[in-house]
Amino acid sequence: MTSRFAIGETDFLLDGQPHRIISGAMHYPRIHPEQWRDRIRKARLMGLNAIETYVAWNAHEPVKGQWREDGDVDLGRFLDLIAEEGMHAIVRPGPYICAEWHNGGLPTWLTSAGMRLRSSDPRYLAEVIPYLERVNAIVAPRQIDRGGSVILVQIENEYGAYGSDKEYLSELIRVTREKGITVPLTQVDQPIPHMLENGAHPELHKTGSFGSRVDERLATLREHQPTGPLMCMEFWCGWFDHWGEKHHTTTFADSAADLDRLLEAGASVNIYMVHGGTNFGLTNGANDSGRYLPMVTSYDYDAPITESGDVTEKFRAFRDVIAKHAPVPDEPLPEPAEAPELTVPLLTTGDPLEAVATDRGLFDTPPTFDELGSDLVLAEYSAALPGTAGVLDAEVRDYAWVAVDDRAAGILQRTIGDLSLAIPAGAELRMLVEETGRVNYDHKLGEAKGLIGAPMLDGEPLPGPWRVRTFDVPALTQAVSDAAAEPAGARVAGPAGLRASFDLDAPADLFLDTAGWGKGYAWVNGFFLGRYWRRGPQRTLFVPGPATRAGTNEVIVVELETMTDPTVRFVARPDLGHEVE
């Protein structure tokens, strides 16, 4: 059955009748696809009538020309599931999305090409247009006026905080309309006058992003959007975490009161996030507002539905608020369940990096990761030393283990500005450099990674040649699984591959305890859980039940530093760190 969705003088209109959107954000790549329906259904039980999602370009096209829309990035299936649950969908394809996601959703092959990002630069638009055409080919047949779920499509994202190129916005709108999008188009910015003005376009309905001071923010938004419905497109009910900081939470009663105020004012709302999910694999972003801070693997966000799908006190409080303003399903809510607890020792396979190494040759000066290829995460740079001790200075993005003549000399790390190191005399310098997350906000978007320029020894550039090797991190799981193994000792020095097997009676969500581990990556049955780091706050990794199986399962770990407890422990509940409001 088809319907018509439009923007009226005062309200959204569904088949000509006033309609309030009560939506929640969840991002399909952050959820195991076999758990999409569960998370959507729980959002409906909270009283929501819509689901909003970003589209991450780099998840669909990590390598130029190799487009994916299956498995964990099957946007069409995700939108169909929303429709099957009787809900509407809001799609925000960017091309820039922020979202605390790697590179703000832009592929590294794009951002390394030297073009002006998020602008009418013809080189940039030449890449953006085919991307939007592919997304719109998925979205267009799933619009509400064709019997689908999609009621709104957003153009760009918080653009007024970045630029004011109206020609760029016009081109995005043109492509979107020409490729069959007929539902209303929106834009979002924080309700700050210059941002709303910079990001404005006469063909876009303005919405706001904020989490408090509701009356003030709605008043500012109304000044810049004098007609039509008011909408908070991102009602921030929680927050994200960086490595090395505390775990953030918000008081559910305060968030519920702000939500109530929004709904009392007659506004529509999209709760960011209703369910955050997980930065699986290497998808976490980073911020840099004077200090570089990478995101943790969990994107729980203190959302009403937790990373592992439990409903919370915040969920119940929001449901009670929504029930004052709209119908809420009269269905029982699922109770949180503890995960199976297991403990098994790890076996070690030695250094797995050699098995996935590619020799990239010799260079006069160290190339950046971006000059070497797309989405590189680990690379080794080596060069001759003059044989004297000295002070090494290097611009490292983002973390480097330094060795002289195969002896560890120390660590350089960008997050704390520690980019100098006294090194002993020796013949060869080796630096293993890791990218720990690409900036997802503001003008450092797309910055180069790896070594930036030649390192200095006592103020003088180290001469080349530089030998460079790169390492395929996703391939490490198979390398460790295939290698011969032996029992690990009391401590394991990295780089080291480790593995263990465990049995389950049935597939189950699990929480992998990483408290005794240093820094590295973990997989279960080949599913890339993500990064762990002793720095915290996160101490467990979420293992989605569909990644497990009845019978024997395998854990793979690649430890890059030192593991003080070479044991696999699955615990009953997640540990995301000490909470701070």
Residues 394-430 as b or e (16 or more Cβ within 10 Å = b): bebbbbbbbbbeeeebbebbbbeeebebebeebeebb
Q: Which helix (H) or strand (E) holds 187?
A: strand 185-189
Q: What is the DSSP string of 468-523?
A: EEEE-GGGHHHHHHHS--EE--S-EESSEEEEEEEEESS---EEEE-TT--EEEEE
- Second CATH level (architecture) for the domain 353-473: Sandwich (2.60)
96-117 residue pLDDT tens: 999 999 999 999 999 999 999 9
pLDDT computed for residue 1 by the predictor: 83
Q: For the beta carbon of residue 478, count every other beta carbon within 10 angstroms.
A: 16
- Report the candidate in 355, 346, 378, 345 with the shortest Cα–Cα distance to residue 483: 355
Q: Report the alpha-carbon distance of residue 129 to residue 59 in Å, rounded.
A: 17
Question: How do residues 254-294 score in pLDDT, each as one tens digit?
Answer: 999 999 999 999 999 999 999 999 999 999 999 999 999 99
Residue 320, pLDDT > 90, answer yes
Say if residue 579's pLDDT is above 70. no
Per-residue pLDDT tens for 146-185? 999 999 999 999 999 999 999 999 999 999 999 999 999 9
CATH topology match: 20-323 vs 353-473? no
Residues 452-478 have a mean pLDDT of 97
Question: Percent of the chain at pLDDT above 70?
Answer: 99
> Which strands form 399-404's sheet, in the order they lie side by side?
357-363, 466-471, 378-384, 428-434, 399-404, 407-413
- For the entire predicted model, the pTM comes to 0.97
Scanning 225-337, the segments in alpha helix (DSSP H) are 252-264, 313-323
The whole-angstrom separation of Cα 396 and Cα 570 is: 35
At residue 580, the pLDDT reads 45
How many CA atoms lie within 13 Å of 500's alpha carbon, on the beta-carbon side?
A: 19
pLDDT, position 239? 97
Residue range 125-153: mean pLDDT, rounded:
98
DSSP, residue by residue, 209-224: EESS-HHHHHHHHHHH
Give the CA diameter of the chain.
80
Closest CA to 414 of 403, 427, 390, 398: 398
| Chain position carrying tokens 């925000």 | 92
d(Cα 458, Cα 420) in Å, to the nearest integer?
A: 10
User: What are the domain boundaries of the chain?
Assistant: 20-323, 342-350+483-580, 353-473
Q: How many CA atoms lie within 13 A of 297 on its CB side?
A: 29
Confidence of residue 524 (pLDDT cuts 50, 70, 90): very high
Q: Are 307 and 297 in contact (CB under 8 A)?
A: no
At residue 97's C-alpha, the angle toward residues 95 and 102, to 5°, is: 105
Write the DSSP string, 377-431: -EEEEEEE--SS-EEEE--EESEEEEEETTEEEEEEEGGGTB-EEEE---SEEEE
Q: Cα(144)–Cα(182) distance, rounded to whole angstroms? A: 9
Active site residues: 158, 234
342-350+483-580 folds as: Jelly Rolls (2.60.120)
Question: How far apart are alpha carbons 528 and 332 in whole angstroms?
Answer: 33
Mean pLDDT confidence for 334-350 = 95
Rounded Cα–Cα distance for residues 188 and 231 (Å): 9
| Mean pLDDT, the chain, whole residue set | 97
- Give the pLDDT band of residue 581 (cuts 50, 70, 90): very low
**Digit-coded pLDDT (tens) for 34-88:** 999 999 999 999 999 999 999 999 999 999 999 999 999 999 999 999 999 999 9
Residue (of 228, 249, 168) closest to 201 by Cα position: 168
* Other C-beta atoms lying within 10 Å of the C-beta of residue 132: 25
Looking at domain 20-323, its CATH class is: alpha beta
Distance CA 305, CA 315 (A): 7
